Chains A and B, each alone.
Chain A
Amino acid sequence: MSRAPDRTDRRIALGLFLGSFALLWATEAAVGFVRDESVYFAAGEQVVRWLRLLVQMPGRAMSDSVTTQAFDFNHEHPLGMKLLFGLSWQLFHQGLGWLRPATAFRLPAFAVAATIPAVLHAWGAVLFGRRAGLFAALCFLAVPRHFFHAHLACFDMPVAALWLLVVYAFWRAETDPGWWLWTGLLFGAALATKHNALFLPLVLLPFALVRAVRASAGKPAARALLEQLGLVLVGGAALLGILALLLTPAGLLRGWELLSPPTAVIVLVAAALCLLGVRLHARDGATFRAVAPLLAMALVGPAVLYVVWPWLWYHPVDRFRAYLEFHATHVHYAWMYLGRVLREPPFPVFYVLVVTALTLPVSVLAPMGTGLLSVGVRAVTAGLPRLPGRSSGASASELLVGINALASIVLISLPDVPHFGGVKHWLPSMPFLALLAGSQVQLAGDALGAWLARRRPGLPAAAVTPALGALLLLPAATLTAHVHPYGTSAYGELAGGVPGAASLGMQRQYWSNNVTGVLGWINLHAPRGARVWLHEVHGLSFRDYQQNGMLRADLRPAGGPGDADVAAVQYHQEFREQEVAVWQAFGTTRPVAGLYIDETPQVVVYRRP
């Protein structure tokens, strides 16, 4: 049976996509440029310059030296989203002149983020019911930090969207023809977005294996082909292992060229997988559909990444290795957590859970938590004898959602993994938690409605779940509206809001975008031609604020307090020295203005007397 949503749910999903896109666009102008975003703006411009050269002189544009020069900037991230940012900027700002530069860059990010509520509804409606899908979609975007990240021309929300899309396609592929190829293509897009995607096959592999074993049960020919697929994979891995032993792993990578034994092994394995896949398709559709998504991920995914990222074209092994090394050895930025500044591993193992609990609105956290707990309990107790009234074990689909809800959280919880960046590093878990929240709200709302209807027969029981859902969304939406556009400062009710989190000693903010809260004061009060030090704000962002009409064009960036007339200091516990340096340079401890959210200092402005 197909897992496609029905026509009504498809329309609702489309409405959610369009509504989310419009909402993000309508609320975008106030959102400051986070440190990385201005880098991606610049990278997007660079892509466009290269594309122009590609049209004019394709041979030269595709040469090693030009692709290296064009894409070396910010090569620590693949090109996928930057390509879209650049194309949108070229079309809507440079070409048509319809949008300011930042909005044009961000437009693709809105579109990708808007797929999350749409997919959550489409999936949730089929898996749990329409109201569950709708709550999942709305509660995801109602979370202040999700809403904030959905505005940015960055990669955290896009990779969360693509993680969701890959898993959704993987789920659809079990029953619906053609979705196995979508799984591979979407995985390629995810790889071309951010390195989180590299962990997706590990999460999906066990599900594919179980599916394949079940599908091939009682089908000797299909099972034999399945075993051959396994043998090819194991054999390929063994051959690469032997080469690594002979040459040492570093030597293997160093000597890996286009025409080399490792390349031959990979090509042979890929060819064998294709051949066996074709034979399996012909022999047994169900078994093919079980393994095809992973085969597509293995074969199509890397190909998409390679094609989309010209920086890899001439030096795929060296540069892919450099890309991995950058993230494997990423610097640990200082980060405030429960009254202490975390600076180096090992980090607290419960950090991610605590931060998630403190940053989510509690009315969203509660159904997410019970949803995850419900799946976990039913999965663990599935093998126990059935008791009267006890629920059935979690279905494979629910387990797929539950495992993906945990995957990124568990990964970032590892004590040696960098812990900075608020919630953005485990954003790919959050859509799945939203799905589970939807299931809980529907089940609990329906039960509450039935219970109430038994006591008050005239009560419209069917209205209870929508009313409960709306009530749960209201505090979250209120908080989101309250902190917008300062989403990195948002904390939920469990923390005691923004002031409660400050007293708990949590990170006040990050990524420097909150500076928009004082740009108005600076524009109004800074002397003409003044030198302005925007602490923590990337140099490119200073330019972007001016280009987008948010900062007066006559103001000049200062390198520090020493040469500044006006200083805007971001409040970070790890940067107290820098505010004190302003006191020293300006001869005063008294600020003149600031951004204070619910009393908490976020950005403090000083003027040289």
Chain B
Amino acid sequence: MPSPEPPFPRLRAALGAGFLATALLALGFQLWLPRVLPTRADDQAVADVLARESRPGDVVLLHPWWTERARLFVPPGLPVTGYLGDEGDALLEHPRIWVLAQPRLPRTAESEFARAFLPGRTPLDASRALGPYSLQLYRNGRARSVRFSAAEAMETASAVVDLPGQGRLGCPREGSAFRCPGGARVETSWHEVLYQPARCLFVAPPGGTGTVEITFEGVPPADVLRFEAAIVWEHAWKHTDNLTPLSAQLLDADTGTPLASLVVRPGTEGFVAAEAKAGSRRLRLRVQSDRADERETCLRLRALQTLEGAR
């Protein structure tokens, strides 16, 4: 059953020409792609610049966000940020940002990156081309001096749980963590919050009306307290009826005055945040959720001070 004589011979010929063009373009793409990929020498050139010119407090921001192979060769001790949505990250702990970009990679969205990244950032030098890499240093106008971070202050912290019918019970320290009666626990650890790796105060509440409280002593003076809470990993997305909201409160530990309150409802992905006036030297965090299942929380409490003179 051979094909009948095709109609529209010119259209068919044009289709053939279209196929031919498609094949040539596709072949061209396959030949071009390896030429925009960095070599080991390019990696080394980037590593050399960063080793020579980076300072403590700097961070490397990857663009596109997924080019995490850089973690292999960026000098040790220099943090690398690369996660979906990182172009909008304030990176407030870092006064200077090295943007390590591969702009020639297919579908690298330059304008979207610039729109989210550039506000508040000022180039400190010209972009350097190192093979297919471009490396540029920026002053981070969104940076703040972090005078206090709860996640890094566990040594001076104490924790208790307040359980119905049992009252306030101290949480024994286990290394840098607290293991509390009623199954609650508190520790500093890395977790994912909406794809972002976050080193934070990890709190598992006891459930019911019970609360876990963490008290920090000797908080230094600052302009503002930034308080953030999120449910970790995929549990944040879950929104079934058996899950309950998580409430987190920041209090002045001396007076018991609430300074900020956050509620993370089931299905809320990413951090919810609040700011409060700084000033108290003793701060307390109180965390509660009616059902403790899958309500493990990543808390960030930082005392921030306006930064002057980033270079």
- List A residues at the B interface (Cβ < 8 Å): 3, 126-129, 132, 334, 339, 341, 343, 361-363, 366-367, 370, 389-392, 397, 439-451, 464, 468, 471-472, 474-476, 478-479, 482, 492-493, 495-497, 499-500, 502-505, 573-574, 576-577, 579-581, 583-584, 589-594, 596, 598-601, 604
Binary interface encoding of chain B residues 267-278 relative to chain A, with 1 for a CB under 8 A from any of its CBs, else 0: 000000000000
From B4, B19, B69, name the one whose CB has the most chain A CB atoms within 10 angstroms. B19
CA distance A446 to B16 in the complex (A): 8
Q: Which interface residue of B4, B64, B79 has the most chain A CB atoms within 10 A?
A: B64
Cβ of B64 and Cβ of A503 under 8 Å apart? yes
User: Which residues of chain B are within 8 angstroms of A447 by Cβ–Cβ distance?
Assistant: 6, 9-13, 15-16
Q: Tell me whether B22 and A599 are in contact (CB under 8 A).
A: no
CB–CB B106/A497 < 8 A: yes
Contacts of A370 in B (CB 8 A): 15
| B71: A residues at CB distance < 8 A | 589-591
Q: Please judge, given known A-B contacts A448-B13, A451-B10, A589-B79, whether A471 and B1 are in contact too, CB under 8 Å.
A: no
State how many angstroms separate the Cβ of B24 from the closest Cβ of chain A.
7
Q: A447-B6, A599-B37 are in contact. Are A493 and B19 (CB under 8 A)?
A: no
Whether A471 touches B24, Cβ cut-off 8 Å, given contacts A391-B6, A391-B7, is: yes
B-side interface residues toward A, CB under 8 Å?
1-4, 6-13, 15-20, 22-27, 29-30, 33, 37-38, 64, 66-69, 71-72, 76, 79-80, 83-84, 102, 105-109, 189-192, 195, 197, 232-234, 237
Q: Judging by beta carbons under 8 Å apart, are B234 and A471 in contact?
A: no
B231 CB → nearest A CB, Å: 11
Q: Known contacts A448-B20, A471-B24, A502-B64: does B106 contact A580 (CB below 8 Å)? A: no
**How far is A334 from B83 in the complex, measured between Cα atoms in Å?**
18
Which residues from B are CB-within-8-Å of A446? 6, 12
Instruction: Looking at the assembled complex, report how far the CB atom of A333 sits from the nearest CB atom of chain B, in whole angstroms.
Output: 11
Q: Which of A366, A440, A493, A594 has a CB less than 8 Å from the CB of B72?
A: A594
**B177 to A: closest C-beta gap in Å:** 11
Chain B at the A interface: mostly helix, strand, loop or mixed?
Answer: mixed
- Verify A448–B12 contact, CB threshold 8 A: yes
User: Judging by beta carbons under 8 Å apart, are B8 and A389 in contact?
Assistant: yes
Supply 5 further A-B pairs (C-beta < 8 A) apart from A439-B3, A496-B107: A474-B27, A478-B30, A499-B107, A503-B107, A504-B107
**Known interface pairs A389-B8, A577-B233, A583-B190; A475-B23 also in contact (CB < 8 Å):** yes
CB-contact partner of A601 in B4, B6, B23, B69, under 8 A: B69
CB distance from A468 to the nearest CB of B (A): 6
- What separation, in Å, do the CA atoms of A580 and B189 have in the docked complex? 9
On whether the beta carbons of B15 and A361 are closer than 8 Å, the reply is no
Can you list 16 contacts pairing A with B, beta carbon distance less than 8 Å? A129-B3, A362-B25, A366-B18, A389-B8, A392-B4, A442-B3, A444-B19, A447-B6, A450-B13, A471-B24, A475-B26, A475-B30, A492-B26, A577-B233, A590-B72, A593-B72
The answer on a CB contact under 8 Å between B192 and A444 is no
Shortest CB–CB separation between residue B157 and chain A, in angstroms? 19
Cα–Cα, bound, A343→B234 (Å): 10
Cα of A492 to Cα of B106 in the assembled complex, Å:
12
What are the residues of chain A within 8 A of B191 when measuring CB–CB?
A: 577, 580, 584
Complex Cα–Cα for A439 and B197 (A): 51
In the complex, residue of chain B having the shortest beta-carbon distance to the beta carbon of A593: B72
Of the candidates B23, B33, B106, the one whose C-beta lies within 8 Å of that of A474 is B23
Contacts A443-B6, A604-B68 hold; do A497 and B33 have CB atoms under 8 A apart? yes
Q: What distance in Å separates the Cβ of B97 from its nearest Cβ neighbour in chain A?
A: 17
Beta-carbon contact of A482 and B30 below 8 Å: yes
In the complex, how many angstroms separate the beta carbon of B151 from the nearest chain A beta carbon?
Answer: 12
Chain A residue at minimum C-beta to C-beta distance from B132: A599
B10 contacts A599, C-beta separation under 8 Å? no
The answer to whether B64 touches A583, judged by C-beta atoms less than 8 angstroms apart, is no
**A580→B6 CA distance, assembly (Å):** 60
**B2 contacts which chain A residues (CB < 8 A)?**
128-129
- A579 to B109, alpha carbons, bound, how many Å? 26
Asked if B27 and A475 make an inter-chain contact with CB atoms under 8 angstroms apart, the answer reads: yes
Residues of B within 8 A of A584 (CB): 189-191
Residues of B within 8 A of A366 (CB): 18-19, 22
When distances are taken between beta carbons in the complex, the residues of chain A under 8 Å from B80 are: 589
Q: Which residues of A contact B13 (CB under 8 A)?
A: 444, 447-448, 450-451
Alpha-carbon distance between A341 and B17 when the two chains are bound, in angstroms = 39
A471 contact from B10, B27, B107, Cβ within 8 A: B27
In the complex, the answer to whether A601 meets B68 with C-beta atoms within 8 Å is: yes
B189 and chain A: residue at smallest CB distance: A584
Q: Using A479-B30, A504-B107, A589-B80 as known contacts, say yes or no to A599 and B69 having CB atoms under 8 A apart.
A: yes
Contact check, B9 vs A451: say whether CB atoms are below 8 A apart: yes
Say how far B135's CB is from chain A's closest CB, in angstroms.
Answer: 16
Find B105's partner among A341, A367, A439, A599 (CB 8 Å cutoff).
A599
- A590-B76 contact in complex given A363-B22, A397-B1, C-beta closer than 8 Å: yes
**Chain A nearest CB: distance from B181 CB in Å?**
23
Interface contact A450-B9, CB-CB below 8 Å: yes
Set of chain B residues within 8 Å of A129, measured between Cβ atoms: 2-3
Residue of B nearest to A343 (CB): B237
Which B residue's beta carbon lies closest to that of A604?
B68
Question: Which residues from B are CB-within-8-Å of A440?
Answer: 15, 19
Interface contact A581-B9, CB-CB below 8 Å: no
The interface residues of chain B lying within 8 Å CB-to-CB of A390 are 7
> Of all chain A residues, which has the CB nearest B239?
A344
Check A600 against B15 for contact (C-beta < 8 Å).
Answer: no
- State whether B12 touches A580 (Cβ < 8 A): no
With contacts A390-B7, A577-B234 known, is A500 near B69, CB below 8 A?
A: no
Given contacts A366-B22, A464-B16, contact A580 B190 (CB under 8 A): yes
Q: Which 6 A-B residue pairs are closest in the complex by CB-CB distance?
A: A496-B106, A448-B16, A447-B12, A500-B106, A475-B26, A444-B16
What are the residues of chain A within 8 A of B25 when measuring CB–CB? 362, 493
A39 to chain B, nearest CB (A): 24
Chain A residues with CB under 8 Å of B197's CB are: 576, 579-580, 583, 589
Residue on B with the closest CB to A496?
A: B106
Indicate which residue in A127, A392, A581 contacts B190 across the interface (CB closer than 8 Å): A581
Residue of A nearest to B33 (CB): A497
Distance A448 CA – B79 CA, assembled complex (angstroms): 57
User: In the assembled complex, which residues on chain B have CB atoms less than 8 Å from the CB atom of A580?
Assistant: 190-192, 197
Distance of A461 from chain B, by nearest CB (Å):
11
For B190, what are the chain A residues with a Cβ–Cβ distance below 8 Å? 580-581, 583-584
- The chain A residue sitting closest to B24, CB to CB, is A471
Hey, which chain B residues are within 8 Å of A343, CB to CB? 234, 237
Closest to B233 in A: A577
Residue of A at shortest CB range from B102?
Answer: A599
Give the Cβ gap from A519 to chain B, nearest Cβ, in Å: 18
**Smallest CB–CB gap between A589 and chain B, Å?**
7
Query: How far, in angstroms, from A440 to B14 measured CA to CA in the complex?
Result: 12
